[in-house]
Amino acid sequence: MIAEILATGDEIRSGALVDSNSAYISQKIEEVGVEVSRHISVGDDLDILASTFKEISNRAQIAVVTGGLGPTSDDLSAQAAASAMGVELVLDEEALKSMEAFFIKRNLPMGVSNKKQAFLPVGSRIIHNPLGTAPGFYIKINKCSFFFLPGVPFEMKTMLKNTVLLKINELLGDNRQTCIVKTISTFGITESAAGERLAGLTDLFPDIKLGFRSKFPVIQIKLYLYGKDEEKLNTKMKAVEPYVLEKFGKKVFSVNDTSLEAVVGELLRSKGLTLAIAESCTGGLVSHLITNQPGSSDYFLFSGVTYSNKSKINLLGVSEKTLEKYGAVHEETAKEMAQGARRIAGASHGIATTGIAGPGGGTEDKPVGTICIGMATPDGVKGYTYNFPFPKRSMNKIIFAMKAIDLLRLELQKAL
């Protein structure tokens, strides 16, 4: 069974908006065992939409269409589907009631233009939208089952999960498969190096489909297993996981989708520890990442972003001598910053960053990309120096901040 994905809308066609829906839908559809062969985007044009639907219906058995379900005159998906099939639009009472309920629940008046959204092609069935006004629908055009969803990502995702994936499973019938996905998240390795380490995997485990997902600087290794017997798949996956973990060792920070910040947060919380941060070159990013975690106030106490030497001395208690002798970008300074933050906040752990994010400020000794990290713990203080080769300030800030958080993870895991 082959699927295609169509993202509609002039804002996507013209490039005003990057279409991230299609990638999301592809992943989810491939996870239920259907191959996605093509993504298409076209604009808000009735004839083009109708002919694109026909074209897809001759190639694929499943199509997921996003966008064009809103109340305005630009929203043409239902009309184009009706036109492609040579049928009329009719008022769908179920869709109308569901929309009315949406507005009543929120104590809002329903606009006249909203009623348009309840007109669906004859023969279609509604896909409920619990989070917005635009109902979706599904219908067969030629031999292809079309699923029409709104373009708003969080509405689309909910409807895909609640309805579309279940319907696709029904369509698969005896070909239905379960997909087991294992996500192993790593820090400190490039995608190509990760690929090399796993070069032998599919020889040993020929059923495994291997994928990578990169969200700089994290590389996620995705292992997919398809089959009919979920228990057998789980057993097989359990055999593969140790192989992968052995290849990456301490670079693995989670064996699910948990972020590095969440892993560190959970380590701190479960051990009853607290964190203080002193940042120079990362400019607040370490604490921004740490506090992205809901409930981080349980363990995060304080961060001081000290750009100037003066603020390093006055606020963190870094000694003038250290700064004179070694300069601001040095392990010794980082160590004193970490100790200062830890002391000021009364935290169990302190981490500190000082380095050169660029574009300016690099020297031969300390080029752009140099980062010194200090780690103060109840057992003492340590310093680290690294050099990263990235050309952009924004990339350097991220890799510096994530490296500091990862060192803290390793520190906390040691004591496990």
> Where do contacts with its own copies occur on this chain (CB under 8 A)?
11-20, 22-28, 30, 36-43, 48, 211-214, 222, 277, 279, 282-288, 290-292, 294-297, 300-308, 310-311, 314-315, 344-346, 358-360, 393-394, 397
CB of 105 to its own copies, least distance (A): 16
* Residue with smaller CB distance to its own copies, 27 or 98: 27
CB of 364 to its own copies, least distance (A): 17
Q: What token pair was written down for 26? A: 């592809």
* Residue with smaller CB distance to its own copies, 212 or 243: 212
Q: Which residues pair with 147 in a beta bridge?
A: 64, 138
CB of 357 to its own copies, least distance (A): 8
* Residue with smaller CB distance to its own copies, 282 or 370: 282
CB of 345 to its own copies, least distance (A): 6
Distance CA 241, CA 247 (A): 10
* Residue with smaller CB distance to its own copies, 124 or 186: 186
* Residue with smaller CB distance to its own copies, 113 or 413: 113
* Residue with smaller CB distance to its own copies, 267 or 398: 398
DSSP string over 128-186: --TTSS--EEEEEETTEEEEEE-SSHHHHHHHIIIIIHHHHHHHHGGG--EEEEEEEEE
C-alpha to C-alpha distances, 271 to 3, 299, 385, 390, 408, nearest whole angstrom: 48, 10, 27, 35, 13
CB of 274 to its own copies, least distance (A): 9
CB of 88 to its own copies, least distance (A): 28
> Is-contact 181 94, C-beta < 8 A?
no
> Is-contact 301 274, C-beta < 8 A?
yes
Residue type, 315: L
Distance CA 54, CA 122 (A): 17
